[in-house]
Amino acid sequence: MVPIDGKRSCLIVEDETLIAMLIEEAITEMGLSLLGPVSRVSRALDLLKTNTPACAVLDINVAGEPVHPVAQLLAERHIPFLFVSGYGEAGLGADLPKRRVIEKPFAIQQLQVAIRKLLEEGTPTA
């Protein structure tokens, strides 16, 4: 779904307020509109019922709950996404789709480069 203002949107699933604000800043500087941030897996799934973002930025562990259902749905819908996590790639586990992981803490520019790459390359097929 393209937002009314014509901008592509990016879903943010992050339960740490300061990190969510940093992600918001990175995304809005890029000219994308925001879908979220949301701090609960259930809320992200609700948003995805009626929205199709251009991309998504997901924390691996959201308020003590794994983000797996959101990642699976995004992968099924071929929506590109990446993870931000203090766990690094070790936090992915075997049951999460393999995607890029930006380790916390990160610089805004680092995240923006990764999001631009997501939007240019789309979703991996593997």
Specify the CATH number for the domain of residue 14: 3.40.50.2300
Beta strands in 3-67 (DSSP E): 9-13, 33-38, 55-59, 61-62, 65-66
| Domain-located, residue 2 | no
Query: Distances from the Cα of 77 to the Cαs of 42, 73, 125, in angstroms?
Result: 17, 6, 12
pTM of the model: 0.89
For the chain, the straight-line distance linking the first and the last C-alpha, in angstroms and rounded, comes to: 25
pLDDT at 3: 40
CB atoms within 10 A of CB 101: 20
The boundaries of the domain holding residue 93 are 9-121
Distance between alpha carbon 10 and the CA centroid of its chain, in Å? Answer: 7
Summarised one tens digit per residue, pLDDT across range 31-80 is 999 999 999 999 999 999 999 999 999 999 999 999 999 999 999 999 99
What is the count of structural domains for the chain? 1
| Domain-located, residue 4 | no
